[in-house]
Amino acid sequence: MKILRTSLSDVLFCLNNIKEICMRYYDVLEYSEEDAEYMIERAKEFAEQDPVEVNSEDVAKSRAKTVFIESIGQEFIDELESDYYEKNGQMLRLERNDPPYRCVYYKEYDVWVVTAVLRSGKLEDGTSLEHTGESPYVLIRGKDGALLAASC
């Protein structure tokens, strides 16, 4: 499977719009151009996928999972999607605070932001599970599934 590589026009689009998309997505007033440039460069490191229209959350998640697996590994995805957590050698059911993936579509940019939401919630023994670290995310163009930017 290949992730469609971005063209020069995509790079210019990204530089001009990734900051704005991320500011809206994370509800922050500022997002540096250096962060946007890093994410665009990071996207170039992944294998190419065949072009496909990303017209639903399911398709967006599928494209994003391919990137997460290549970057972080299948074990990360298996753990992310599991409703169980191992604690002291015992598997405990997890009541999640959030689903494993968050997908937001920005129609004006035709861009999907897909985040792998690190697990947190309440374990069946009554204790809490809180994630540590940053949740990886990608920006995917809707019309052809091109990976525009990645933070993973």
pLDDT at 4: 42
pLDDT at 72: 94
Chain centroid to CA 5:
17
pTM: 0.80
Flag whether pLDDT at 10 surpasses 80: no
Q: Give mean pLDDT, residues 53-57.
A: 96
Helices 33-43 and 8-26: angle between axes, nearest 10 degrees:
120
Which tens digit of pLDDT belongs to each residue from 78-100? Answer: 999 999 999 999 999 999 999 99
Would you mind telling me the total number of residues written for the chain in this entry? 152
Q: What is the DSSP string of 7-59?
A: -HHHHHHHHHHHHHHHHHHHT-S---HHHHHHHHHHHTTSPP-------SHHH
pLDDT band at 27 (very low <50, low <70, confident <90, very high): low
Q: Phi/psi at 60 (nearest 5 deg)?
A: -60, -45
